[in-house]
């Protein structure tokens, strides 16, 4: 966990320049929120794993009467919040929030839950939400980075040792059900980013801080294995470049 946090700390200053896919996902999630929360929403909204505040920067101007809380366990991400953002920054783990029970009207999290135990994240979200409070989450599912997984397998390596192990939609749904949160809508989409070369593709992962795995140290690839991996990956090249796929799950749910 600490290594993951440090990795996000190191990426904080490059995050917005590299995180095009992350911004697209955040924009879709905030678009959903804008259709579900009325224009005169004056409650408390918490962004769990807020990063540089990309979601909140879109929501704060829309809801002038609301109160916003920005939570991230990487303190340097919080340093990147826009200076004029009307939000309280809290440096904390979203699995264990320093927030009183039943005080939050709306909970959002964009691309942070895949770094956590979804059961703990869901349980903590429901603890802080008021009854009938809304939950909006985007997270990654298994199938994310499938091209890298195949490439690693082709080199005789175990993808689980090198790539973030994401959960299935069914696991997220059962985590929400166990936390007594009713799912109102759920959609999964495959999004693909395209890269000029393998170095640029790797940079799209490292530049947003997503290069350390929870629970174990990522083995270093030898020069020989890296060359093999690059060669295997070149087989996937199209006129758009080298693909990297993300399976994105978007959920709107409500605490019972
Ligand atoms: C991919 S970034 C997404 C940032 C932001 N939500 C966005 O959409 O641009 C993931 C963020 O989640 C944070 N994060 C990951 N696990 C966390 C945890 N357990 N508690 C709090 N923050 C966490 C990271 O520090 C990072 O800032």
What string of DSSP letters covers 173-237? HHHHHHTTEEEEEEEEEEEEEEESSHHHHHHHHHTTTTTS-TTSPPPPPPHHHHHHHHHHHHTT-
Q: Residue 212 — very low, low, confident or very high, per pLDDT cuts 50/70/90?
A: confident
Is 139 near ligand 1, meaning CB less than 6 Å away?
no
Tokens 């990487």: give the residue: 74
What is the CA(79)–ligand 1 centre distance, in A? 13
pTM for the structure as a whole: 0.96
Domain limits, the chain: 2-144+165-192+244-255
Instruction: Could you please state the CATH topology (level 3) that the domain comprising 2-144+165-192+244-255 is classified under.
Output: Rossmann fold (3.40.50)
Rounded Cα gap, residues 109 and 136, in angstroms: 6
Distance of CA 256 from the midpoint of ligand 1 (Å): 26
Ligand 1 contact, 78 CB (< 6 A): no
CA of residue 201 to ligand 1 center, whole Å? 20
Task: Read off the pLDDT of residues 154-189 as tens digits, 9 standing for 90 and up.
Answer: 999 999 889 999 999 999 999 999 999 999 999 999
**Closest ligand 1 atom, residue 94 Cα:** 20
Q: How many angstroms does the Cα of residue 5 sit away from the middle of ligand 1?
A: 9
Residue pointed to by tokens 């590299």: 18
Q: Where are the alpha helices (DSSP H) in 2-145?
A: 2-11, 15-18, 20-36, 54-59, 75-79, 118-128
Question: Which of 53, 59, 96, 112 to probe ligand 1 with, by most ligand atoms within 8 A of CB?
Answer: 112
How much is the pLDDT for 217?
73
């Amino acid at each position: 966990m600490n290594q993951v946090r440090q990795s996000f700390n190191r990426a904080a200053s490059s995050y917005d320049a590299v995180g095009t896919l992350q911004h697209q996902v955040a924009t879709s999630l905030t678009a959903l929120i804008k259709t579900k929360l009325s224009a005169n929403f004056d409650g408390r909204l918490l962004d769990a794993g807020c990063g540089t505040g990309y979601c909140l920067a879109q929501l704060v101007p829309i809801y002038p009467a609301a109160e916003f809380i920005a939570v991230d366990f990487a303190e340097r991400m919080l340093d990147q919040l826009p200076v004029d953002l009307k939000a309280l920054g809290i440096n904390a783990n979203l699995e264990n929030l320093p927030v009183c029970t039943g005080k939050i009207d709306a909970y959002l999290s964009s691309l942070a839950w895949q770094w956590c135990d979804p059961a703990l994240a869901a349980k903590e979200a429901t603890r802080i939400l008021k009854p009938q409070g809304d939950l909006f989450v985007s997270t990654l599912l298994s199938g994310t980075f499938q091209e890298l997984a195949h490439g690693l397998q082709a080199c005789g390596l175990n993808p689980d040792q090198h790539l973030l192990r994401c959960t299935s939609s069914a696991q997220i749904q059962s985590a929400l059900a166990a936390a007594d949160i009713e799912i109102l809508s759920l959609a999964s989409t495959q999004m693909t980013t395209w890269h000029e070369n393998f170095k640029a593709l790797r940079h799209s992962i490292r530049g947003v801080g997503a290069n350390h795995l929870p629970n174990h140290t990522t083995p270093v690839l030898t020069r020989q294995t890296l060359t093999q991996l690059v060669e295997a990956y070149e087989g996937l090249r199209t006129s758009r470049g080298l693909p990297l796929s993300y399976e994105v799950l978007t959920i709107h749910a409500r605490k019972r």
